[in-house]
A and B are shown apart, each in its own frame.
Chain A
Amino acid sequence: MKKYLLKRFIMSIITLWTIITVTFFLMHSIPGDPFKKEGKMPPAVYENLLKKYGLDKPLHEQYVIYLKNLLRGDFGDSMKSRVETVNDMIRRGFPVSAYLGLEALLIALVFGPTLGALAALYQNKVPDYISMIIAIIGISVPSFIMGTILIQFVAKNVSWLPIGGWGEFKHTLLPALAMSLMPLAYMARLMRSSMLEVLNQDYIKTAKSKGISKAAVILKHAVRNAILPIVSVLGTLISNLLVGSFVIEKIFGIPGLGSFFVKSINNRDYTLIMGTTIFYAIILITMLFLVDIAYMFIDPRIKLTKEGR
């Protein structure tokens, strides 16, 4: 187990380094740079700006300098914001996005698998149809449409909740709901199909033959075996929810991390692009690792050993 963890850690570092390197060079190969767009800038000012951020040096030197700073945990100064460093921006935006993301995750986790399991238990009956209608809506309606619909009907028409903004719990409900629908629907569909499969397994029949109640058969025997596919998608899902959504944050006016992902690229804000990418990569790698550990606890047949799995 210890050996596995160590190996896994080293692998993660290599993965991260690969991501950093590829992103760094890809980013610099996009035409334009952070300052070219800014109107008629005197050439001398432009030169000075390049010098200030070290962009005048050869690319490989910039790369080495960046890596060195990174090792100290420094993502560098944002090339657009005059007041905040990239570290500041992540420190400010991430808690907001993460709070919203966790709330969305909670909604999705509570209702997604439950709807899926119900659909499987009542296959081709009313609960199945209702769950699957919700699932289809959740998958096919994009979050920005969902967000606007929610604003129109819940916030504007009946004013139960604020239209947008940030600060109190009531501000989080609508955006979290809008964000949760896609993962919720996805999990419902996954749960339904895996539950249907598990319910046809021989060991479910064995469980029934013991004379235990229907609820015990489902909760103790079926759900635990059916939940694995959901756990396996959870890593990606959680990371995506935690770092926030550009669209949702835009619609509801939330000062989260999500908008940085899009803005940084439009602005060619090199340090912010790197910062957000690396930050997302770290979260993703960590989540995938946690998922593998969770696997081991759910399914005893899966053993984490030095050979990998």
Chain B
Amino acid sequence: MEKLLEVKNLSVSFKTFFGEVEAVRNISFHVGKSETVAIVGESGCGKSVTANSIIQLLPMPPAFFKNGEIIFNGENLLDKTEKEMQRIRGNEISMIFQDPMTSLNPTMKIGKQIVEGLVTHQKLSYSDAKDKAIEMLNLVAVPQPEKRINQYPHEFSGGMRQRVMIALAMVSTPKLLIADEPTTALDVTVQAQILELMKEIQKKLNMSIILITHDLGVVADMSDRVIVMYAGQILEEGTTDEIFKNPRHPYTQKLLASVPRLNMSRNEPLHSIEGTPPDLYIPPKGCSFYDRCDCAMKVCKDHMPDFDAHSSSHKSRCWLNHPLAKIASGRDK
């Protein structure tokens, strides 16, 4: 598959009063054309920082790129000037944010908000822009779009606002859509509708999606491949099937075990992962999951393992993959 986006050895840090926080540490991944890649992990693991790095919406300072490359369509985005980035943002790469209640400007009509980017990029006339706004609202199934374009965000429900956000992101038919927890703030019933809608539009416009989420249900529903992040690093990467059916990293396994199931008995306690992620002011020398891992070994404390490939698409970073560990734990039977 042709690569649309390739992130190579990206490290992003934040300068704070107390020192440097290494939010993203040396991650590499790629997104293929018209592919959906999910980045999962708990809060603070660096998923949003990764997403915002690609579109370069991190507040700089305090954030800064330590090293790495973000190759989009063959060009390194980190070499671009702010002006050049503006031409890419909302044009070739768009973003949908977590909270539709606060992501729209309360004092601007939504029709105008939807086409604002397009008007800037393509110099549309007023009536063309209006037609385009109506067309987009139709696409995201907002009823009565002719009337709705002249309304303000507070006249929309949460689900409808997220549809507007999607329309806003799609209007320029971007090659890549970054969805940062697009359904987290929505009702479960509305969540399903929004995901369906995103899938449908993806097919129509043939674009790639990076889906940032901590909801594994959403991942299973939407994505082709999954990247599991923890403490600013990628621990495991694979197709959705591989991750769900054959998770190799203990963290991925625990993450999957934490999903509540309908067939659980009432008395059975909900699973959680004990402890908290490490402090990224002083990132651990060894495996970042060491403190919370049931399978932790001596070697894990001081040495971070490299990736081991399990298939052409599946790889994980764990000492358990080592031949000697397999003998010791008998994990692979």
Contact = CB atoms under 8 A, between A and B. Distances in A.
Interface of A: 201-203, 205-214, 216, 220-221, 224-225, 298-301
B108 A220 contact: yes
Interface in B64-118: 82, 85-91, 94-95, 97, 99, 102-108, 113, 116-117
Given A209-B95, A211-B120, A203 B86 contact: no
Contact of B107 (A211, A212, A299): A299
A243 B87 CA distance: 52
B120 A212 contact: yes
Nearest to A221: B105
Contacts, number: 76
Contact of B89 (A203, A210, A224): A210
A139 B228 CA distance: 54
Given A206-B103, A216-B120, 4 more contacts: A212-B86, A212-B116, A224-B108, A299-B106
A121 B218 CA distance: 38
B121 interface: yes
B179 to A, nearest CB: 12
B152 interface: yes
Nearest to B112: A220
Contacts of A224: 107-108
B211 interface: no
Contacts of B95: 209
Given A212-B117, A224-B107, A225-B107, A206 B97 contact: yes
Given A211-B87, A220-B108, A224-B107, A206 B120 contact: no
A266 B323 CA distance: 99
B264 to A, nearest CB: 36
A202 B103 CA distance: 5
A209 B106 contact: no
B107 A206 contact: no
| Most A Cβ at <10 Å: residue of B82, B94, B97, B105 | B105
A203 B104 contact: yes
Nearest to B151: A300
Contacts of A211: 85-91, 117, 120-121
Given A211-B87, A212-B120, A301-B152, A221 B97 contact: no
18 contacts: A203-B102, A203-B106, A206-B104, A207-B116, A209-B57, A209-B89, A209-B94, A209-B95, A210-B120, A212-B116, A212-B117, A213-B120, A225-B106, A299-B107, A300-B106, A300-B152, A301-B106, A301-B152
A203 B105 contact: yes
B165 interface: yes
A219 to B, nearest CB: 12
Contacts of A225: 105-107
| Most A Cβ at <10 Å: residue of B107, B152, B165 | B107
Contact of B57 (A201, A208, A298, A299): A208
Contacts of A202: 97, 99, 102-103
A201 B57 CA distance: 13
B86 A213 contact: yes
A169 to B, nearest CB: 37
Contacts of A213: 86, 120
Contacts of A220: 108, 116
A298 B121 CA distance: 27
A207 B86 contact: no
Interface string B280-295: 0000000000000000
Contacts of A216: 120
A207 to B, nearest CB: 7
A301 B105 contact: no
B173 to A, nearest CB: 14
Contacts of B198: none
Contacts of B117: 210-212
Contact of A298 (B82, B107, B165, B169): B107
B21 to A, nearest CB: 19
B154 interface: yes
Nearest to B105: A203
B7 interface: no
Given A220-B108, A225-B105, A298-B107, A209 B55 contact: yes
B63 to A, nearest CB: 13
B176 interface: no
Contacts of B104: 203, 206
Interface in B157-185: 165, 168-169
Nearest to B98: A202
Contact of A300 (B55, B107, B113): B107
B166 to A, nearest CB: 12
Interface string B126-148: 00000000000000000000000
Interface string B184-206: 00000000000000000000000
Contacts of A201: 102
A203 B152 CA distance: 13
| Most A Cβ at <10 Å: residue of B89, B103, B104, B169 | B103
Nearest to B99: A202
